[in-house]
Amino acid sequence: MKQSDLKGLGFATQAIHGGNDIDGETGAIRRPITMANSYALPYDPTEMNWSSSGGRLYTRNGAANQEYLQEKLALLSGTEDCIVLASGVAALSGLFFSLLNSGDHVIFSGVTYIAAYRLLNELFNTKFQIETSLVDTSDLAAVRAALRPNTKLIHIETPGNPTTAVTDIEAAADIAHAAGAYLSVDNTFASPFNQRPAALGADFVVESLTKYINGHGDALGGAILGRTELIDPIRLQAQVNLGGVISPFNAWLIMRGAATLPLRMQKHNESALEIARFLEETPGVRFAAYPGLPSHPRHETAKKQMSGYGGMIAFALKADHDTHNRFVSRLRVITSAVSLGHDESLIVFLGENDERQYLYPPQFHEGFYRFSVGLEDTNDLIADLKQALSAESLL
Ligand SMILES: *Cc1c(COP(=O)(O)O)cnc(C)c1O
């Protein structure tokens, strides 16, 4: 259907039809994969800007499949514009590299994807003289206290990877804007189905498309979303000059996966809530952290800004390091692997030697699991957890 007719229609309709159209050449009702590096030049190519991000020139400047995906994601996120890149980390580094200059100050969440921590806390500060403050951004007073006259960006992740810490997006946006700074939100754990940060005041939204948006564990991708005036200069730097361009094939795969995002997220939301409740009531479980549980320290904030709580749970057993590893080895349905948001359930044990644990609340200091609840039958997942708990006398 016509893209201009999609505005104002429901999320599921947009997820299916966004970015798709009749193929002009064949009449196929799906747009094709265009595996080409280069596009035909006009009669007089000397008038072209070889570094532009507008128009079709070379796939690193902009190409068909990435444009279709950008259309879909901007629609789902309620933003004017979108850049898709090779990975979530390409999106994070592209955003930071394009936006920040030496002497700028960044406040960022102590609970983030590891690459955000490495980029800001180890690379940008030492290589480019960018000042950084690591803050528990779920504590708004701490965010306010960290502001400096040169604060350019507040970067938060909510729910945060791996602890599920929740930050109030609207309040963080107000703090940033009052100080003349921008707010960027890594929305990967929630996906645009559960949370749309731009509507709450975020200037930049980052998504790892590798996770829920693709949803099938077979492609990497990332996106930066926001207003065109802010996104356009980033497109030039992050895509054309840094070169973190997505393959047309991966863009196509992610486009295909995203069509079922609403159906998949409903199931992730339902299943994870049921499993989080089961874990919380299990005597051998030391704690279960899930934004949908009333026991989560920021449950009220999550309720206010999320329409569902996603598929990510952090939990730990009343057990030592070895028992935590043995428990995982006993699981039959749930796979021990990194990544998240796939169709299959994934679990990873984050040990007590994690270098960032000092930034987390004390219950995370003894080691814990990050559990991505997949789309298998909920009963099979609970039965799998039960048999492994029972074998360790923890049920
Ligand atoms: C995985 C992840 C990223 C990085 O995405 P890649 O596609 O793996 O580069 C960024 N943020 C969060 C919250 C993630 O979970």
- Reported as a single tens digit per residue, the pLDDT across 158-184 is 999 999 999 999 999 999 999 999 999
Q: Which CATH number fits domain 261-391: 3.90.870.40, 3.30.450.20, 3.40.109.10, 3.90.1150.10?
A: 3.90.1150.10
Each residue of 372-393: b (16+ CB within 10 Å) or e? bbbbbebeebbebbeebbeebe
Residue with tokens 């229609």: 9
Low-confidence ranges of the chain (pLDDT < 70): none
Domain 3-258: give its CATH code. Answer: 3.40.640.10
Give the count of beta carbons closer than 10 Å to the beta carbon of residue 156: 30
CATH 3.40.640.10 range(s) for the chain read: 3-258
Residue with tokens 């992050």: 238
Measured in whole angstroms, how far is the alpha carbon of residue 94 from the centre of its chain? Answer: 15
Cβ of residue 195 lying under 6 Å from some atom of ligand 1:
no
Cβ of residue 18 lying under 6 Å from some atom of ligand 1:
no
Cβ of residue 203 lying under 6 Å from some atom of ligand 1:
no
Single out the residue of 46, 179, 185 nearest to residue 113, CA to CA. Answer: 185
Q: What is the pLDDT of residue 56?
A: 85
Q: In what order do the strands lie in the sheet with 335-336?
A: 285-289, 312-317, 368-372, 346-350, 335-336
Residue 105: helix, strand or coil by DSSP? strand
CATH 3.90.1150.10 range(s) for the chain read: 261-391
In this structure, the strands spanning 222-226 and 285-289 are unpaired
Q: Is residue 88 within 8 Å of residue 206, measured between CB atoms?
A: yes
Single out the residue of 151, 92, 147, 146 nearest to residue 123, CA to CA. Answer: 92
The number of the ligand 1 atom at minimal distance from the alpha carbon of 160 is 13
Cα Dmax for the chain:
76
Query: 1 C-alpha vs ligand 1 centroid, how far in Å?
Result: 32
Q: What is the pLDDT of residue 75?
A: 97
The number of the ligand 1 atom at minimal distance from the alpha carbon of 189 is 13
Q: What is the pLDDT of residue 55?
A: 75
From the number of C-beta atoms within 10 Å of its C-beta (0-12, 13-18, 19+), residue 79 rates as buried
Cβ of residue 210 lying under 6 Å from some atom of ligand 1:
yes
Where is 83: in which H helix or E strand? strand 81-85
Residue from 157, 164, 167, 211 whose mutation best tests the ligand 1 pocket (most atoms within 8 A of CB): 211
In this structure, the strands spanning 182-186 and 204-208 are parallel
Q: What is the pLDDT of residue 54?
A: 76
Which residues are paired to 13 by β-bridges? none
